[in-house]
Amino acid sequence: MEVLRAASARHGLRRHVAALQPRNWVCRSCQSQSRSRSQSSLISKRQFASSSPRLQALSSTPEPSPVKPYYVTTPIFYVNAAPHVGHMYSMVLADVLKRWQTLAGNKAILCTGTDEHGIKVQQAADLNGLTPKAICDENAEKFKDLAKISGIDYDRFIRTTDPDHVEAVKHFWRMLERQDLIYESTHSGWYCVSDECFYPEGLLERRQDPFTGEVFMASVESGNKVEWTEEKNYHFRMTALRQKLLDFYEANPGWLVPATRQEQVIDWVKNNLEDLSISRPIGRLHWGIRVPDDSQQTIYVWFDALINYITMAGFPDWRPGLESLGGWPADVQVIGKDIVRFHCVYWPALLMALDLPLPKRILSHAHWTMNKTKMSKSIGNVVSPSSAIDRFGLDTIRFYLIHDGGIADDADYSNDGIETRYNTYLCNELGNQLNRVTVAKQWDLPQVVTAMTQGSLEASDGKLGENFENQERMLRGLAANVSEHMNKLNSGAALRGIMQAVGETNKFLTQTEPWFYFKQGTPESLALVNKSIFFAAESLRITGILLQPFMPRKAKELLDRLGVASNKRTLANAELFSDFGYGQDKKPLGQLFPRIELEPEVKKNSSGSKGKNSSKGVKKRPADGAPS
């Protein structure tokens, strides 16, 4: 009885202390509940310490325009191990989406960062003889470096150890507590340290270690070992939101991309949803954010981590009527397929509980494998992004990841595959087309563009008429087709569509034979030459504009080579006949995409290790020039 009275008193004290905490924003239901209890407990505006970078920025800048930016997030990456090409893929996918919105003239922001709490970090620190914060600081820098070398145009690199995030998590907890959505209970179940979550028995299976013969219980989803755990902790009443979740999925069938994963989420909610254990005893997990008013419990790492997305958007310092200025709700959240449940069940349930808007869409991508085997540090088939970039160049790797990367299905990474894609699409097709248009002795690009304003568009030849019509039709529809794919979050299809246009233009040049008509030397034949080269130049100009989100550096070089003005490189300019001023100030850049050839041993070994796989294994020779 004394234990029960003590627990009741402790719970009452927490409620009393929480009610005294200053706030500046609460959800509508919380406000209503607070008013019904007592008018004297109205929540006042909450102030962070003056050291908060967000508040310092707000105090030193003019009143913002009430326009919500397009908000893209990557998952925040766990810091217990070094980054690999899968992390880079998530980053590049999100970066392409942000850059596309900027290209379209929209304000866009991107958040990436690191998830730094939890048992795995605690164990990694112990193993390396470091403090958890020290290992977080060290590995967070590695992910910052990855973002830098990957060309990621992020607006904030958030860390879950950041002071404003810690405060946001505590605020979120207290709001749930006021709604009576958190309770204490003894929890027993199968816990996976690697996945940082409990699994219901229906999602477990017996497995045997092929090396030791040990038989153990493992998660069906991840294959990682689980252990039976029994402990007292706090729970979130997630089952109370089951029907609300199901209603949301039904009303928003395209919310999770691809749709097959949303079907899996619905099945999981229907058959496996339980109240969520959202804390761990300090004796088992000391590295994390303490539960407000209970120093013996640490907040569950996924509860903590998910809130980063609204921390970046200014939560909880949202001013009434201007809550979306920081970007929330996110327009797209990019995640890997292995964390769908956390982002598509736990996250929406937590937001629904407080009447907060849900992210507009979730893009869940598949994994990269090697030789059809999942990349694993233990078996040594993890690709180092820095090694890949050193070997092939940043834009080549960005191109390969988007072009070949899987959304619904896993993709297999190989050096040979990168070489093939590069030489086929970038060297032979795009590079060769650029050479044909800009360095041929038979014509001069500035004169060709000028000629188009003087009637050369009217040039015709009976047997070439259909070729010109097809090329014009293709170029007129290219930007719209690419935009349609991007609106569906299918950047791979968008990039493949751009490269298809490049291939069609090379066929067009082969069919119209401008070098043949140049030799004839008549005014009529030279007019046809100008028209052919102009349509090819327009293809390059439009292609270069559309490639900017995918290959920022090489696309800039291509547009520089064509002499396209810097203020005429937006999506609105990616239309046929929208610019007749280029070609005058073109910059000779040599071979934009010199051919590459890998040494045989590099082709065989596709891992990112140094040595035989270093950039020394690449031979280069100039791309083919313009035909004579």
In the chain, where the domains are located: 416-621
* Gyration radius from the chain CA atoms: 29
Query: 204: which residues sit within 8 A by CB, 6+ positions away?
Result: 190, 217, 218, 219, 220, 226
**pLDDT score for 612:** 36
**pLDDT score for 47:** 31
**pLDDT score for 231:** 84
CA–centroid distance for 310 within its chain: 16
Asked if 491 contacts 97 with a C-beta cutoff of 8 angstroms, the reply is yes
Query: 231: which residues sit within 8 A by CB, 6+ positions away?
Result: 186, 187, 188, 280, 281, 284
* Pairwise CA distance, residues 103 & 110, whole Å: 14
Query: What is the share, in percent, of the chain residues with pLDDT greater than 70?
Result: 78
Q: pLDDT-derived band of residue 374, with 50, 70 and 90 as boundaries?
A: confident
* pLDDT beyond 50 at 616: no
**Helix %, strand %, coil % of the chain (to 5):** 55, 15, 35
Residues β-bridged to residue 257: 363
* pLDDT beyond 90 at 80: no
pTM: 0.83
**pLDDT score for 587:** 74
Q: pLDDT-derived band of residue 452, with 50, 70 and 90 as boundaries?
A: confident
CATH 1.10.730.10 assigned to 416-621 = yes
Lowest-confidence region among 71-75, 118-122, 338-342, 618-622: 618-622
**pLDDT score for 372:** 85
Q: pLDDT-derived band of residue 66, with 50, 70 and 90 as boundaries?
A: confident
How far is residue 125 from each of residues 284, 304, 460, measured CA to CA in Å? Answer: 14, 19, 73
* pLDDT beyond 50 at 6: no
What is the residue-averaged pLDDT of the chain? 84
Residue identified by tokens 């001069």 is 444
Q: pLDDT-derived band of residue 420, with 50, 70 and 90 as boundaries?
A: very high
